[in-house]
């Protein structure tokens, strides 16, 4: 836990807003559920109103009023410009090179941006069985760039992932190129403590910006590998009043909508 709550915002709010800032108005973004979805929709509601948000279920140009519970949430289809079949989504849009940013989360992540969302522990006898890859393996290799967002912990940011779900930079260096993958791969990691970018040569994630109130010691204490920092280390700008209001209003609408859905099912 950092001291950002004393500054008027939480670490998760800082993470979401920092992630949203990375998106541009002309991006075509393949959106993961959870933290990536929150970041993408804050961007859409603030500085990037023309961003095209695409979800795995086939919804294109969606503009949800509340955050979806899953890719099958009706809110996505109802607010989309159009909805296409899943094979068309993957073959024409994703594998056709039309996605500028794939925005993913991770249960486990290593320093080269490789993602595990399949299982914690041994595959045959797991401690925890996770939802799986879904479309993330294809997003990780076919999007022009990949952004990752997750809260830092030694359990989540590990030296070696337990299962290889989505390919980042593999063993580092030119591993993607040697496998014939011609997209950039993970180019940005946004956590609740910092912003990271891959080293140009080794491809190891390196801290480029520390969030307000966060120390280097906190970063190392919540990461399973030895953290590296760029020489000209920046401090992430604090959230603006507009960014915070937009995120909090979105979360409040989402909570109210989902609470109503739960009550309806219980009745």
| Active centre residues (catalytic) | 56
Strands 28-31 and 101-104: parallel
Yes or no: say if 149 and 188 are a contact pair by the CB < 8 Å rule: no
Cα(first)–Cα(last) distance of the chain, in Å?
39
Separation CA 147–CA 27 (nearest Å): 12
Rounded to a whole number, what is the largest CA-CA distance in the chain? 58
Yes or no: say if 71 and 89 are a contact pair by the CB < 8 Å rule: no
Strands 28-31 and 52-54: parallel
Separation CA 86–CA 54 (nearest Å): 11
Determine if residue 49 is left, alpha or beta; phi over 0 gives left, psi from -120 to 50 gives alpha, anything else beta. Answer: alpha
């Amino acid at each position: 836990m950092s001291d950002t709550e004393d500054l008027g915002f939480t670490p998760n709010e800082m993470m979401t807003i920092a992630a949203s800032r990375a998106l541009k108005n002309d991006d075509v973004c393949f959106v993961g559920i959870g933290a990536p979805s929150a970041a993408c929709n804050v961007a859409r509601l603030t500085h990037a109103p023309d961003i095209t948000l695409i979800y795995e279920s086939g919804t294109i140009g969606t503009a949800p009023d509340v955050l979806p519970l899953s890719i099958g949430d009706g809110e996505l289809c109802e607010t989309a410009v159009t909805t296409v079949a899943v094979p068309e989504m993957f073959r024409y849009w994703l594998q056709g090179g039309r996605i500028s940013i794939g925005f993913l989360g991770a249960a486990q992540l290593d320093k080269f941006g490789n993602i595990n969302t399949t299982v914690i522990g041994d595959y045959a006898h797991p401690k925890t069985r996770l939802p799986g890859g879904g479309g993330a393996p294809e997003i990780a290799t076919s999007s022009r760039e990949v952004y990752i967002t997750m809260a830092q912990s030694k359990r989540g940011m590990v030296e070696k992932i337990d299962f290889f779900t989505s390919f980042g930079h593999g063993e580092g260096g030119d591993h993607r190129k040697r496998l014939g993958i011609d997209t950039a791969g993970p180019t940005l990691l946004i956590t609740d403590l910092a912003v990271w970018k891959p080293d140009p040569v080794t491809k190891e994630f390196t801290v480029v910006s520390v969030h307000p109130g966060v120390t280097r010691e906190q970063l190392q204490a919540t990461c399973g590998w030895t953290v590296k920092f760029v020489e000209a280390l920046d401090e992430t700008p604090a959230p603006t009043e507009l960014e915070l209001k937009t995120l909090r209003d979105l979360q409040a609408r989402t909570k109210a909508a989902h609470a109503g859905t739960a009550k309806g099912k219980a009745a």
